[in-house]
Amino acid sequence: MKLEVLLVVPLLAAACRSIPDSRAESLLAADRAFAADTEARRLDGWLAAFDAHGSQVDEAFRPITGRDAITAHMGPFFADLANELTWTPDDARVSEGGKLGTTTGRWKLARREQDGRETVLATGRYFDVWRKQADGSWKLLYDVGDEDAAPAR
C-alpha cells in the first residue's frame, strides 16, 4: 500500500500543476472583455473597466486618476474614429489572497486611413493591476504601458 501512495502522490501533484488557475483565467477573461468592450464602445468601454479610484499613466508616466480625469485625457483620442488602441493579454497572476491581480500583454496604437489601410503608430507592452469586486468581477486599479524601442537602423 505504501508503494501505491508513493506512486500516486507525484502523479496527482503533476496533474494539479497542469490545471490552469481558474482565478488567473477569470482575470485574463476580464482583460480580454475590457479590450473587446473598448473596441466596441470606445471611451465608454475604456471607462467601464476602471475602479472608481483607478489610474492610468500618461506618456510622461504621470498618473491620471478617477473617471473625470481619465475621460478628459482619453476622450479626444476615442472621439477620433480613425484612432485604434488594441491589446492582447498574455499573462495573469492573482495574489494568494485572491483580491489583487495583474495582467500583462502587448498593445498597439494605430490609425485607420481613409482608404482602409492601418498605419501603426506605436506598439509596446502593458502592465495592469486589478482588484476583485464583491460580486466577483475585476476592476482596473492601475494601467501603464511602455512603448517598444525604435528598431535599430
C-alpha span between 134 and 67 (Å, rounded): 20
pLDDT, tens only, 39-69? 999 999 999 999 999 999 999 999 999 999 9
C-alpha span between 70 and 56 (Å, rounded): 7
C-alpha span between 107 and 89 (Å, rounded): 9
Q: Would you list the domain boundaries of the chain? A: 22-147
21 — pLDDT class (breaks 50, 70, 90): confident
- Identify the pLDDT of residue 150: 78
Coil/strand/helix, residue 32: helix
- Identify the pLDDT of residue 151: 67
Rounded to two decimals, the pTM is 0.83
C-alpha span between 141 and 122 (Å, rounded): 24
Fold of 22-147: Nuclear Transport Factor 2; Chain: A, (3.10.450)
Supply 133's cell numbers.
469586486
Distance separating the N- and C-terminal Cα atoms of the chain:
67
Phi-psi region for residue 84, left (φ > 0), alpha (ψ -120 to 50) or beta?
beta
Supply 25's cell numbers.
483565467
Section 139-145 average pLDDT = 97
pLDDT, tens only, 67-117? 999 999 999 999 999 999 999 999 999 999 999 999 999 999 999 999 999
Coil/strand/helix, residue 91: strand
